[in-house]
């Protein structure tokens, strides 16, 4: 009887045991052939012209966070033409498309869609037609590269050993679109996620990233220091909030210089101060605000507590009161972007095969922030920067500049890199 029960339990375990994944390998020769085929396909004249048309159309009609209706419609039209199924709307304007068998593993490729409230100053045929809005962070390029990858992947859909999920995400700029995609369950069951972000300081044909912490977490604060207004000739009859604000601003910098381990990157910056408008009047209140950043969740929590304490206590010293708002509901804090080390190594290997080892660079840690950081706690996630600087043209401005110029030769490179990352990931993650 005991032997029979053991046999039955063994049979049942085959059906109820959780999924397991085994790591396979793709030879360097196979990977080289794959990346070369994908890049050659993406550089074909018809394919390249299609990519340019898409990018220019999106660039001409930039839309701000959660307003990407035309951009979303364009993406859906292209997916329909490619015969790719998708879910929409996700987080208001977002799209999640699927290429492959539908079975696991599921590997995500992400592109953000929103533009910035910036007036474009670059004079060219495809300058922004939505005045005061511009794709100054390259999200038009990100969407185009992902659509290019979609086209390459669809051609190989029957050969994919799993499913590639194409994530077109709204509202990366300030409003945490990634958080809302996760909140709606659109990214559930993903085993991994990869993304590219343009880097105008890097030459076209290069990429860069780093394992582990790559970008800082970021949050905001606005403080109101309340005093008592009065005439500047009689300051003893007033309670001066300007003086309290000045002391608070100076003291905030001591959080970094005196409270923080000098080997741990942290930032507190005050970006604006608003007070009265008359030369001879002490105002009733002062409003100030800024940003704070750290490469760890613990650091973010500590800075938030200290900022509140410092502003309130400095105001109290000078007989003022203060309130500090961290805008947590309106502008959600971004967590640090932590690149999964294993996925980073995989992406690096694919990039070296496509572009050559000398063109895959180790990026420095940056205190800039990205809402891609929301994905890392839920799955293996890695982001790389991709160069967009044409060596033969004039120097390009940096991200968020009204004079940003992008070398469109990056489009087939990014499309083929995204596709290669996904295909090779599925090849080496074998479902048992």
- Is the CB of residue 423 less than 8 Å from the CB of residue 13? no
Give pLDDT, residue 16.
45
Q: Whole-prediction pTM value?
A: 0.91
> What is the per-residue DSSP string for 156-194?
TGGG-SSEEEEEEE---TTT-HHHHHHHTTTTTTEEEEE
pLDDT at residue number 430: 56
What confidence score (pLDDT) does residue 113 get?
98
Neighbours of 172 (CB within 10 A): 23
Q: How far apart are CA 348 and CA 127, in angstroms?
A: 34
Asked if 94 and 168 count as a contact pair (C-beta separation under 8 A), the reply is yes
Are 133 and 62 within 8 A, CB to CB?
yes
The 10s digit of each residue's pLDDT in 186-205 is 999 999 999 999 999 999 99
Q: Prior bond to 89 cis, omega within 30?
A: yes
pLDDT at 28: 78
- Look at residue 258 in the predicted model and tell me its pLDDT: 94
Task: In whole angstroms, give the CA distance from residue 349 to residue 211.
Answer: 13
294-310 pLDDT per residue, tens: 999 999 999 999 999 99
pLDDT of residue 17: 43
- Beta partners for residue 207, in sequence order: 360, 386
Cβ partners under 8 Å of residue 90, min gap 6: 96, 181, 184, 186
Q: Which residues of the chain have pLDDT under 70?
A: 1-26, 393-395, 430-432
């Amino acid at each position: 009887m005991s032997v029979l029960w053991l046999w039955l339990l063994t049979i049942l375990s085959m059906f109820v045991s959780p999924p397991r994944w085994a790591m396979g390998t793709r030879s360097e020769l196979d990977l080289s052939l794959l990346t070369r085929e994908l890049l050659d396909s993406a550089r074909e004249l018809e394919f390249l012209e299609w990519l340019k048309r898409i990018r220019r159309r999106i660039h001409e009609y930039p839309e701000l966070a959660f307003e990407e209706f035309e951009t979303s419609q364009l993406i859906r039209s292209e997916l329909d033409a490619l015969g790719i199924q998708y879910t929409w709307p996700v987080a208001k304007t977002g799209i999640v498309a699927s290429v492959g068998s539908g079975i696991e593993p599921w590997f995500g490729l992400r592109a953000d869609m929103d533009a910035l409230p910036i007036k474009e100053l670059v004079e060219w045929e495809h300058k922004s037609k939505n005045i005061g809005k511009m794709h100054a962070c390259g999200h038009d390029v990100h969407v185009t590269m992902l659509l290019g990858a979609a086209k390459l992947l669809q051609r190989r859909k029957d050969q994919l050993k799993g499913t590639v999920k194409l994530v077109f995400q709204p509202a990366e700029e300030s409003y945490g679109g990634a958080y809302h995609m996760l909140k709606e369950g659109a990214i559930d069951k993903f085993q991994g996620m990869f993304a590219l972000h343009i880097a105008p300081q890097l030459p076209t044909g290069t990429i860069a990233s780093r394992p582990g912490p790559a970008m800082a977490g970021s949050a905001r604060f606005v403080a109101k220091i309340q005093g008592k207004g009065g005439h500047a000739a009689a300051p003893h009859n007033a309670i001066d909030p300007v003086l309290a604000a000045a002391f608070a601003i100076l003291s905030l910098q001591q959080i970094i210089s005196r409270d923080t381990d000098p080997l741990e990157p942290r930032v507190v910056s005050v970006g604006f101060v608003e007070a009265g408008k008359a030369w001879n009047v002490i105002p009733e209140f002062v409003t100030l605000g800024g940003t704070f950043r750290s490469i760890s969740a613990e650091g973010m929590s500590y800075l938030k507590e200290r900022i509140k304490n410092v502003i309130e206590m400095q105001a109290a010293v000078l007989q003022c009161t203060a309130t500090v708002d961290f805008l947590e509901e309106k502008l959600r804090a971004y967590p640090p972007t932590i690149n999964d080390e294993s996925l980073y190594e995989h992406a690096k290997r694919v990039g070296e095969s496509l572009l050559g080892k000398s063109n895959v660079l180790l990026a420095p840690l940056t205190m800039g922030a990205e809402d891609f950081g929301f994905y890392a706690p839920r799955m293996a996630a890695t982001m790389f920067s991709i160069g967009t600087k044409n060596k033969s043209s004039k120097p390009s401005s940096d991200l968020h500049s009204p004079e940003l110029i992008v070398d469109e030769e990056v489009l087939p490179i990014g499309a083929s890199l995204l596709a290669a990352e996904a295909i090779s990931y599925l090849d080496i993650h074998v479902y048992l």
